[in-house]
Structure 1
């Protein structure tokens, strides 16, 4: 049986806010990339996910519930650094209450924990609220719809358990595919050459990963931003130095091997030794930024 999804681009932008509806289901998802937090106005009862990544810890996720979604998201924008995208799930008929979303929060948390694909960022384990048996059945149907939306609309599988052998095979395929891209897609090379840096790399997939090539070098170490030590790129730099990926040479850091970053900005922060927007800093030979090319 087929299930229809309807996806609305709320900002008329591919990388902007989206609303996802499922045919004959009383639930919708509102997707909010972090740079659109200030424009998110849906202040209703919801269960939600914050998703991001870290160079050391991998994929990260936080599960929450709220009675004031927009206010809660603004608070997370100020206090939680790790996340890049938020996924809020609402009832189309405003048929969710506090007990409902606490029940869903606990079920989602447990499913993610058992699957083991993401590192949970919750400081405490959500407690399942008591709801009537009939309501439990309705909420479990919503849970399945949430799983369907995440997989069908966003290609996210946080509830699906990891098949280790499949993961190994997929990793090998990705490496082979990456090598083909490096060999064949020279026109997709991007550069960073300001501040004394000399780096080049490639965008992978839908922009969630960025490859910096062997031989690239960072900006001058002595010109590193004062705030550099306060951002995650500084921790990543120390880790890559210990692993031998980066080596200090003549006042710069040089890449001794090709390295994959979780985002263009993660790569550009390290190249310029400061907080940056990788979508604006990485440019092709024609001087066009990643941001311009994705418009």
Structure 2
């Protein structure tokens, strides 16, 4: 069963683009988001002079995509000051510290290692960490506490506006059946769909962000001239970054990929304009359109 949470966000100057302090009710952790231009103002925030982990967000120079660098420090503000001269790409920092004094150097090193691992697995942002930090050894109780900290951290980071740690799909297996997300705190059921086109087969699941085409799904090697330019560019981008690759003479998805709509996903796969809401079917041979009409309010 999903568990609701209460989150408080304080806008320091009343602006959503200024310094923001976020917290989950009854959790000792806290998040502060600040634009690079207001880093000096963080000196007035005692929360920034504690041990913690931080995310630097900006744009990757090479790809033009959203990028993130993840780090840790015994004093977050001091480390951020070093990044003013050492790293140019970022324009926003989000850091996490504790309201009490229970986060130690070993704790934040553990957090850094696990967060880099999760960001790399999510593959939503270009990760600018050159190496994966070594995971320090912690007592079992401390380790479990840090894993709980990461769960709340991920929630706050998403609320602030960054899904860098969110996998595009949470699933243990996908056939034409119900797929249960394994995290009990976020337990829900999503529907698996299949698109069969000539000799192609693609699998996907629908979630709150759109539709996720799953690794191993097949893609047509041909496109028609009438395919909209936006779809042509996206298809080429997916091939350029390796999301779609030629393997043994077939184009396939090498990893899960989130699309904004079933139609966008289907058009990329078959190579021409198609109504995605009528070509993705579940185990009971119901299309997405059929299911939407069944659940539409009267």
Q: TM-score, normalised by structure 1?
A: 0.55
* Aligned pair partner of 2:58 in 39, 52, 57: 52
Structure 2 alignment gaps of length 5 or more: 170-211, 214-256, 265-298
Tell whether 2:76 aligns with 1:76.
Answer: no
Which whole-Å CA distance do the structure 1 matches of 2:262 and 2:82 have between them?
36
Q: Summarize the Cα distance change of 1:171–1:48 in structure 2 as closer, same or farther, 3 Å threshold.
A: farther
Give the secondary-structure state (helix, strand or coil) at the position aligned to 2:49.
coil
**What is the SS of the residue equivalent to 2:145?**
helix
What is the TM-score when the length of structure 2 is the normalising length? 0.54
Is 1:67 matched up with 2:74? yes
Instruction: Check if 1:157 corresponds to 2:159.
Output: no
Q: Secondary structure at the match of 2:259?
A: helix
Secondary structure, aligned partner of 1:40: helix
Q: Tell me: CA distance 1:12–1:168, structure 2 relative to 1, closer, same or farther (3 Å).
A: closer
Structure 1 position 147, deviation (Å): 0.5
Partner of 1:118: 125
Provide closer, same or farther for how the CA distance between residues 169 and 17 of structure 1 changes in structure 2, counting only shifts above 3 A: closer
Aligned 1:1-295 pairs, distance under 5 A? 1-41=3-43, 42-54=48-60, 56-57=62-63, 58-151=65-158, 153-162=159-168, 165=213, 167-170=258-261
Question: Does structure 1 retain, via aligned residues, the 8 Å contact 2:31–2:97?
Answer: yes
Whole-Å separation in 1 of the counterparts to 2:131 and 2:261: 33
Give the secondary structure class of the aligned counterpart of 2:23.
strand
1:86–1:171 CA distance, 2 compared to 1 (3 A): farther
User: Aligned partners of 1:28 and 1:147: how far apart in 2?
Assistant: 12
Alignment CA distance shift 1:123-1:55 (3 Å): closer
CA distance in 2, matches of 1:31, 1:112: 18
CA RMSD, Structure 1 to Structure 2 (Å): 1.9
Which portions of structure 1, spanning 4 or more consecutive aligned residues, are displaced by more than 4 angstroms?
Answer: 170-173
Matched residue pairs, number?
Answer: 172
Residues in 1 aligned to 2:127 and 2:133: alpha-carbon distance in whole angstroms: 12
- The SS at the match of 1:13 is coil
> Is the alpha carbon distance of 1:169 and 1:7 closer, same or farther for their aligned partners in structure 2, counting shifts above 3 Å?
closer
The 1-side partners of 2:115 and 2:166 are apart by 11
- 5+ residue gaps, structure 1, are 174-295
Partner of 2:290 in structure 1?
none
Instruction: Determine helix, strand or coil for the equivalent of 2:39.
Output: helix
Shift of 1:150: 1.1
For 1:140 and 1:87, the matched residues in 2 are separated by: 19
The structure carrying a bigger helix percent of its residues is 1
Aligned counterparts of 2:74 and 2:261: Cα–Cα separation in 1: 40
